[in-house]
Amino acid sequence: MDSCRCCLRCPPDNDLTTPYTHNGKTETFYDMFKECFNIHLVLGGSGSCGICSACVGRLRDASDFKLQVQRSQAELQALLVKVESAVKPEQDDHSVIDVFYEVPILEEHSEVGDEKTKEDVTDEDPLAKSETDDVMSDGDSSAAD
């Protein structure tokens, strides 16, 4: 069996464990597999331990994409830390995302005595009132039938 370990269609052009230089950096295809996909290829046996050029290209693309995502995540994390450190003291109880998107925080009242009745909610929230009115009017119309 003298074919690429990745596609089994082409003869191998490169060895998986040999270090190669590409665009000024050294790469070992076996290590790239482990880093990108957490795949440990079986290298023993009488078969070839090679990879074809087409699969090398796909592996490099995958490796480059993984590095791109890691860099983007690191930049995003650094940006979020900057935003978080710029938050004013009176806003410290809000998360960075809340400040980022200016999402209002709805506080939950879980203490005994702080529980709100349905009437309290409808008095405070015009949307809740209109929904309650709709339900009541639906119930009234069915009673009239």
Give per-residue pLDDT as tens, 71-102. Answer: 999 999 999 888 878 775 555 555 555 555 55
Per-residue pLDDT reduced to its tens digit, 38-57: 888 877 765 558 999 999 99
**Encoding tokens for residue 100?**
């980022």
Same domain, 75 and 126: no
3-state SS class at 12: coil
- Do 75 and 134 reside in the same domain of the chain? no
Work out whether strand 20-22 and strand 25-27 pair parallel, antiparallel, or are unpaired. Answer: antiparallel
Do the domain assignments include residue 104?
Answer: no
Q: Tell me which of 26 and 115 has the higher pLDDT.
A: 26
**Same domain, yes or no: 64 and 18:** yes
pLDDT tens-digit profile of 4-16? 989 999 999 999 9
Domain that holds residue 125: 114-139
CA quadruple 35, 36, 40, 41: dihedral positive or negative? negative
Number of domains in the chain: 2
Q: What number of other Cβ atoms are within 10 A of residue 52's Cβ?
A: 20
